[in-house]
């Protein structure tokens, strides 16, 4: 089986991602595994911990209704070692901390740094609520244990699965009826890919399910029709582009006002031909004049219907590739649908002009009599 067909196979759950022997880690084990991670991997774990903690705070009905909200988590990686005092973390009561939870008063904006055991003392909340918060924050570490456990077992980011995913995301960008991807999953997997960290087993399963759905949506697009050069460029930009929802999600390309209307049942707006004609004319220009006109275009009339970052991405892509096939493959499907006819016709004109220049250059090598003979021969053989 060749490499191309292998990529197109429906992925299956790998046995290496099983968690049969998984158990919660001790604090010492967590610290040991964490210390062996790269700086980027530790940053990913820390950011993910903040996200999970924020989610737990939001879930608590009492705390969400109170004056306090979670805003940040600070970590002293050298705790309990003695080092620069200004880099050490402390609770409001003066006790030194490894994890300092930053909460802010919604009313006054005052911020406070607390240890996990001191919410009740400083936030004036009932003991039971404080205990529930502590339990939930402890569960966050339990959730992160899965990632550290996989890392200790030598499991890395599933690169082959990512290649498969990237292929079908690329195909999805080309079809007339693209599948609405699970964007939060895509963004999360992208972040783990960038840090080269193993992903959650649940995300592994979700990703396989997502690939199968993408495969169904692109079933009519054969593997042989894929432009390998364009696919390579798509993969190169995938990690950065996937962080911008409006570049992948059909609904998110629209302004917030239009998104609200669509959420209430209003159908997607239809932009007239004149919109894409003017947009194409602007993109055909060069230098700062193009940037100035494009941003002005996006700030008036129907131009305001589309998110600003979509125009910025168009600008970045046209500066890199020009108005070419690579440009079309690098932009949002909605924009590609509207601009493709103009660019394809433009490319045909450019190719025709290049052909004529080449013919003129060849004819210039002959004298007048030879040119006439060559012309007669072309006419005789009906070559135009």
Map 158-202 to HEC letters. CHHHHHHHHHHHHHHHHCCCCCCCCHHHHHHHHHHHHHCCCCCHH
Measured distance CA(204)–CA(193) in Å, rounded:
12
Q: Is the pLDDT of residue 6 over 50?
A: no
Q: Quick: pLDDT tens for 118-136.
A: 887 887 777 777 787 788 8
Which residue's entry shows tokens 């080092």? 83
- Alpha-carbon dihedral sign for residues 309, 315, 320, 326: positive
- Token representation of residue 230: 């364009």
Answer whether the bond into residue 23 is a cis peptide, omega within 30°: no
Which of 7-11, 193-197, 263-267 has the weakest average pLDDT? Answer: 7-11
Q: In the sheet that 99-105 helps form, which strands lie side by side, from edge to edge?
A: 68-75, 99-105, 111-114
Determine contact, residues 115/97, Cβ cutoff 8 Å.
yes
Q: How many CA atoms lie within 13 A of 320 on its CB side?
A: 15
For the chain, give the number of residues.
Answer: 384
Buried b / exposed e across 207-242, counting CB within 10 Å, b at 16+? bbebbeebbebbeeeeeeebeeebbebbeebbeebb
Q: Is the pLDDT of residue 347 over 70?
A: no
pLDDT at 353: 53
pLDDT at 5: 42
Q: Quick: pLDDT tens for 237-270.
A: 899 888 877 777 778 899 999 999 998 999 989 9
Distances (CA, A) of 85 to 35, 45, 78, 79, 98: 21, 25, 12, 11, 13
Q: Which helix (H) or strand (E) holds 201?
A: helix 201-217
Measured distance CA(282)–CA(334) in Å, rounded:
18
Which residue's entry shows tokens 């012309």? 375
The separation between CA 153 and the C-alpha centre of its own chain, rounded to angstroms, equals 28
pLDDT at 357: 59
Q: Quick: pLDDT tens for 64-91.
A: 667 788 888 888 878 888 888 888 999 8
Give me the percent of the chain exceeding a pLDDT of 90: 34
pLDDT at 291: 92
pLDDT band for 2, please (50, 70, 90 cuts).
very low
85-88: which pairs have CB atoms within 8 A and are 24 or more residues apart?
none
Measured distance CA(330)–CA(301) in Å, rounded:
26
Q: Quick: pLDDT tens for 40-61.
A: 999 999 988 888 888 877 776 5
Measured distance CA(133)–CA(111) in Å, rounded:
18
pLDDT at 159: 92
Q: From the CB of residue 91, how many other CB atoms can be counted at a distance below 10 Å?
A: 19
Q: Which helix (H) or strand (E) holds 97?
A: strand 96-97
Q: How many CA atoms lie within 13 A of 214 on its CB side?
A: 25
Across the chain, what does the average pLDDT equal? Answer: 83
pLDDT band for 293, please (50, 70, 90 cuts).
very high
Q: Is the pLDDT of residue 15 over 70?
A: no
User: Nearest 5°: CA angle at 298, between 295 and 299?
Assistant: 90
Instruction: Give the torsion through C-alpha atoms of 139, 140, 145, 147, to 10 deg.
Output: 140
Q: Is the pLDDT of residue 27 over 50?
A: yes
Determine contact, residues 76/87, Cβ cutoff 8 Å.
yes
More confident residue, 123 or 319: 319
Closest CA to 147 of 6, 44, 233: 44
Residues paired with residue 69 on neighbouring β-strands, in sequence order: 104
Q: Is the pLDDT of residue 232 over 50?
A: yes
pLDDT at 62: 60
Q: From the CB of residue 159, how many other CB atoms can be counted at a distance below 10 Å?
A: 10
Mean pLDDT: which of 251-260, 347-356, 366-375 is highest?
Answer: 251-260
């Amino acid at each position: 089986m060749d490499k191309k067909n292998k990529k197109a196979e429906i992925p299956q759950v790998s046995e290496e991602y099983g968690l049969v022997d998984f158990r919660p880690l001790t604090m010492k084990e967590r610290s040991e595994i964490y210390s062996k991670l790269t700086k980027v991997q530790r940053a990913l774990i820390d950011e993910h911990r903040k996200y999970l903690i924020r989610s737990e705070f939001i879930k608590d009905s009492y705390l969400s209704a109170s004056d306090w909200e979670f805003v940040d988590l600070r970590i002293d990686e050298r705790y309990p070692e003695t080092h620069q005092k200004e880099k050490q973390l402390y609770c409001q009561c003066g006790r030194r901390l490894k994890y300092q939870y930053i909460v802010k008063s919604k009313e006054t904006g005052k911020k406070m740094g607390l240890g996990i055991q001191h919410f009740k003392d400083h936030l004036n909340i009932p003991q039971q609520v404080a205990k529930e918060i502590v339990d939930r924050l402890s569960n966050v570490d339990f959730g992160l244990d899965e990632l550290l456990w996989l890392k200790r077992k030598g499991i890395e980011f599933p690169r082959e699965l990512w290649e498969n995913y990237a292929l079908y995301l690329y195909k999805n960008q080309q079809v007339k009826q693209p599948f609405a991807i699970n964007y939060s999953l895509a963004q999360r997997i992208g972040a783990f890919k960038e840090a080269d960290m193993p992903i959650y087993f649940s995300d592994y399963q979700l990703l396989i399910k997502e690939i199968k759905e993408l495969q169904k949506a692109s079933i009519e697009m054969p593997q042989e029709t894929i432009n390998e050069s364009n696919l390579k460029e798509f993969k190169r930009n995938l990690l950065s582009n996937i962080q911008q929802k409006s570049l992948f999600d059909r609904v998110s390309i629209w302004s917030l006002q239009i998104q609200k209307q669509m959420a209430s049942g209003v159908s997607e707006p239809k932009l007239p031909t004149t919109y894409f004609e003017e947009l194409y004319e602007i993109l055909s220009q060069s230098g700062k004049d193009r940037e100035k006109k494009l941003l002005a275009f996006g700030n008036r009339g129907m131009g305001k219907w589309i998110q600003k970052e979509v125009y910025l991405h168009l600008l970045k892509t046209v500066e890199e590739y020009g108005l070419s096939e690579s440009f079309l493959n690098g932009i949002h499907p909605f924009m590609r649908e509207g601009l493709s006819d103009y660019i394809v016709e433009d490319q045909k004109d450019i190719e025709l002009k290049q052909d004529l220049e080449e013919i003129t250059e060849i004819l210039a090598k002959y004298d007048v009599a030879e040119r006439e003979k060559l012309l007669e021969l072309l006419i005789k053989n009906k070559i135009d």
